[in-house]
A and B are shown apart, each in its own frame.
Chain A
């Protein structure tokens, strides 16, 4: 039997996220965003990180604002329900952050190429756009079969994928449900994987439903138990999206000073998840709870 990969969040980040590493996060796009893990990265004052992902919805902005990031490779960095993100804007406009511009399809193909172990994937997107000006990892090629003009998207192999999931066993086998974004390709493309989970469950619960496993456990480096680790993003089966938190963040991050206050309150003051839950408060936790449940019909995996 394998050995347990259960670590504290602090141990997992300290061991698998060295300064200068490249991280891919926010892989289901709007849901299951690993905010707790990002906040631990900020607490440990990581430096010169590269962030990779499709849209991230304020997560990248927080890590950028904390001074941890040198380079971003993404399709979109903003706040889904309010628009621009201010730390990202400030960093680009003052030329302190390198940016590689993608579209959602090119991010997906870069990670798929990384997952497949090939140097690039072809796509029909981006032709005629200026993404080529700000992304040297997109090139125009001619198809060797049809002669069509295509965009070659260079593979991305991140050092670490950080994935928030609903439940996992201690060996790294994790169940994810809902829309999956680029999670499966990103996990396969990455050298190591950190799982943060709402619940740690027995291997029996996981192995009885292997279709729902997001990536094989032998590829996973660390498993962390972190209830509410995706808040304020939604976690299917656990809690709804906390819209107010995204609106508050927009207002609180408009200035450098405002962001410093936000960081003090929501990152420095919440080392344990108990602290975080206390800060959230019972009322908000009750508001975000699922109101309408829907269980699936069991399926038979027998033989």
Chain B
């Protein structure tokens, strides 16, 4: 990746990640929408290829239309305006727990090869070096959605062999661990990072590199991963955001607050 290349690009890394996230949503799906980039991913999908997607928010909001104005966070009043349902957190969680949520998105500070996420204690409980905000709804989404997408920065200190604390379960030790611990369904399907996209093997449940972003090589991804990374046999390049997607996305984040674009 030369500087020249990066500068001539029409999109930021965050815009590429949001676009990749949006493309994971199929039309008509029920999406449990989290904070930050996932919020933009949902809005982008809804305004492009998935107009009939429905958004569920842990605050107790269900929306089947876009908010009338750009929002920075799900609690902004435009997100309440003409919502389909304003209710309790337990109601949003009921939709999740009963199995009505198709897909959700979670960010993380630390992830391991089986997609377990830590957003609580770096260093673990016995030797806390950094305290992070905690689960919020993330543990619930990871346990109860039919599938979830992980979005995070790809760095060796974040992609570790074993997370220090499991805030949000992925596939545990791999294989059929989720069934063994009693989780009713789900698990991570995709990890979208600053370098590429990873997907999980259907037997071992370990993640493997599925595509690299433009300008990134598989070696670069492996170097930034804290375990010997499997590379998919049909490794591809992540498609760039289209002009239509970029126009829409910038409408939702006009100041570039989340996507890092200087307006």
Contacts and interface: CB of A to CB of B under 8 A. Distances in A.
A2 interface: no
Given A85-B133, A179-B80, A241-B73, A101 B144 contact: no
Interface of B is mostly: loop
A73 to B, nearest CB: 11
A183 B88 CA distance: 8
Interface stretch (B56-64, B221-229, B232-240): B56-64
B129 interface: yes
A137 interface: no
Interface stretch (A27-35, A192-200, A259-267): A27-35
Interface stretch (B153-161, B163-171, B207-215): B163-171
Nearest to B75: A30
B131 A93 contact: yes
A124 interface: yes
Interface stretch (B45-53, B135-143, B192-200): B135-143
Given A30-B73, A179-B75, A127 B137 contact: no
A80 interface: yes
B177 A128 contact: yes
Nearest to B83: A179
Interface stretch (B3-11, B14-22, B180-188): B180-188
A85 B132 CA distance: 8
Contact of A89 (B59, B81, B130): B130
Shortest 8 CB-CB distances between A and B: which pairs?
Answer: A30-B75, A149-B182, A78-B133, A76-B136, A128-B181, A92-B131, A179-B60, A103-B139
Interface of A: 28-31, 54-55, 74-78, 80-81, 83-85, 88-89, 92-93, 95, 101-105, 108-109, 112, 123-131, 133-134, 140, 148-150, 177-185, 233-234, 236, 240-241, 243, 290, 292, 294
